[in-house]
Structure 1
Amino acid sequence: MTSLRRRNAESGYARGEETRAKIIETAITLFGEKGFAGVSTREIAGTAGVPAPSIQYYFENKEGLYQACVDNLHMSAWEAVGPVIAEVETLLADKADSDRLIDGYCRILERLADFLFAMPDAGSRALFVAQHRALTNWQKSTPSGQQATGRRIQDCCAAVVARIAGGLSPEDSKIVSTTVNGQLMIVHLARDHVEDMLGWTEITSARNEALKSVVRRQTTLLLNSYRSG
């Protein structure tokens, strides 16, 4: 009997997590398309195919659901990029040579490209991020734990630049890494511009691979130009 109750509890928990995840997935899409003010919790629940009170049960209110969407995006990004960041941090600690560090930097960008463009919900996430960045007090609205995700990526990339270049100041190293990473971010955040320049209405798997190839070549060339000798 105890075993049966445990299985029922576990089954209920699994269904609850699936429902919560479905609501978040739907909310990311609708918030991205219409903005925070343009969509109601009732519409989100209806589109997700769940009872309207589910929003209050899982998230308390619309603001709580929106924050859960932001948290989900940061968590997903770290799950995608975190392992290679840890590998490159180990290379830095082990004082690996420049070739290995440059390869590690390129792998960070490749993993980031896969997260930004190859996932099935990449388009919805891009729209959500664009809407979120348009809100006032963008930095103030983002908890420090989430800012730390982007900051750790930035710090790792800047550390690689500093190690390769030797004489660059910390600020200059961050400038270099920011511009290098911008190769992907401009494609991610300026979709209309990319469509105008390249004619891409979507980033297919083949286009993502082409993008990664170009970014690797450009990143390697740029970082090699900063070698201290």
Structure 2
Amino acid sequence: MAQTEPASRGAYAKSAETRRTILDAAIVAFGEHGLEGASTRAIAAAAGVNQPALNYHFGSKDGLYVECARAIVERFAAGTAPASAAAIALLADGAPIEPVEALARLHQLMDALVETLVLNEEAAIWAGFVAREMNAPGAAFAILYENLWQPGTELAARLISAARGEHRPGEDSRLEALMLISNLIAFTNGRRVSKAIMGWSDIGSEQVAAVRRSIARQIDALVAAKTGE
């Protein structure tokens, strides 16, 4: 038994690693070619596995496509989890919320989004897949909308409203949350263009700090404009 358990854990770890490798290759392929244009044979080759291994883990190309969407949601959530959890806890308390605390949580949430979407180059790889589902909704649209786009925007909108001393988000807060988050797409889909415009050869901690400052100024300005501060 002492020998079997470590062997089992090793096999599980190898299986999980193979699954992730396939997903990494598939996200790129689907982002570049779409569901119909991507070849499972090419995905398997890019992942360094054979076709039966791909079928074993995902069943079919459609199954693999859907799992790519779930993987993107999970990876995005991993980068924003602490900030999202703190914001949700504040809003779920039921007690009156101090605007200054809501504002702090909003800054924290947007900082986490900057780290995830701007500093993390993997987000630029997700961008092709996500953009296709935005422009031509398919099998993955509901997964991305229900687990990523809608709850993320709503959370930011609720924090904006709370920072203004409002009880619930309205059209203005949702639109402003949407615009704040959309700013960061310049560093996913438009990463190459944004780097060229800014004269940045790469995006590191210094560039991320500049983006963070810009977003922070936008947050403070939109909250102040509404409260008259």
Relative to the length of structure 1, the TM-score reads 0.85
Residue in structure 1 matched with residue 112 of structure 2 by the alignment = 111
Deviation at 1:18, TM superposition (A): 0.6
Partner SS, residue 35 of structure 1: helix
Superposition RMSD on alpha carbons, in Å?
Answer: 2.6
Residue in structure 2 matched with residue 163 of structure 1 by the alignment = 162
CA distance in 2, matches of 1:36, 1:85: 31
Partner SS, residue 227 of structure 2: coil
Residue in structure 1 matched with residue 226 of structure 2 by the alignment = 226
CA distance in 2, matches of 1:128, 1:144: 13
CA distance in 2, matches of 1:181, 1:120: 17
Q: Residues 16 and 91 from structure 1, CA distance in 2 versus in 1: closer, same or farther, beyond 3 angstroms?
A: same
Given that residues 98 and 164 in structure 1 are in contact (C-alpha distance below 8 angstroms), is that contact kept between their aligned partners in structure 2? yes
Q: Deviations over 1:70-112 (max 9, x none)?
A: 1000111112223212212333334342222112111111111
Q: Residues 30 and 10 from structure 1, CA distance in 2 versus in 1: closer, same or farther, beyond 3 angstroms?
A: same
CA distance in 1, matches of 2:48, 2:132: 24
Q: Residues 8 and 196 from structure 1, CA distance in 2 versus in 1: closer, same or farther, beyond 3 angstroms?
A: closer
Query: What residue ranges of structure 1 are gaps of 5+ in the alignment?
Result: none
Question: Kindly, what percent of the aligned residue pairs are identical?
Answer: 24
Q: Residues 33 and 202 from structure 1, CA distance in 2 versus in 1: closer, same or farther, beyond 3 angstroms?
A: farther
CA distance in 2, matches of 1:118, 1:156: 22
- How many corresponding residue pairs? 226
CA distance in 1, matches of 2:150, 2:85: 14
CA distance in 1, matches of 2:127, 2:116: 11
Given that residues 41 and 51 in structure 2 are in contact (C-alpha distance below 8 angstroms), is that contact kept between their aligned partners in structure 1? yes
Q: Residues 219 and 6 from structure 1, CA distance in 2 versus in 1: closer, same or farther, beyond 3 angstroms?
A: same
